[in-house]
Structure 1
Amino acid sequence: MKVYIGDVKKRAGGKSHEEIEEVMDSFYFRQEKILFADKVHASLDITNCDTEIMIEGKINTLLILTCSRCLEPFVYDLSANLRLECRNLNRLHRSSEIEAEAKEADEIKYFVEEESYLDITQEVRESVIVNLPMKPLCKPDCKGICPVCGKNRNRESCSCQREEIDPRLAILKNWRP
Structure 2
Amino acid sequence: MIIYYEQVHDEGFIIDEAFSFAEGDDKFDIKFSGRVDKAGDAYVVTGRVNLHFSCPCDRCLEPVNMDIAEDLILTLSPLGEYPPIQADGEEGLSDEEAGMYVTPKDHFDIHELLREEALLLVPEKRLCREDCKGICQGCGASLNTEKCTCTKKTDERWAALDKLK
TM-score when normalising by structure 1 = 0.62
CA shift for structure 1 position 58:
3.1
Residue aligned with 1:145, SS: coil
Q: Counterparts of 1:89 and 1:148 in 2: how far apart (Å)?
A: 55
Contact 1:89 1:112 in 2 (8 A): yes
The alignment status of 1:109 with 2:102, answered yes or no, reads yes
TM-score when normalising by structure 2 = 0.66
Alignment deviations for residues 106-142 of structure 1 (CA, whole Å, 9 cap, x no partner):
84333445x5xx3122222222222232221112232
The alignment status of 1:34 with 2:30, answered yes or no, reads no
> Identity of aligned pairs, percent?
27
Match of 2:88 in 1: none
Residue pairs, 1:5-44, within 5 angstroms:
6-8=6-8, 10-11=9-10, 14-22=11-19, 24-27=20-23, 32-36=24-28, 39-44=29-34
Residue pairs, 1:43-122, within 5 angstroms:
43-89=33-79, 99=84, 107-113=100-106, 115=107, 118-122=108-112
CA shift for structure 1 position 60:
2.0
Residue aligned with 1:154, SS: coil
Coordinate RMSD, CA, aligned = 3.8
Gaps of 5+ in 2: 86-90
Gaps of 5+ in 1: 91-97
CA shift for structure 1 position 67:
0.7
Report the CA distance shift for 1:160/1:122 in structure 2 as closer, same or farther (over 3 A).
same
The letter of the residue matching 1:131 is L
CA shift for structure 1 position 54:
0.6
Contact 2:51 2:118 in 1 (8 A): no
CA shift for structure 1 position 25:
3.0
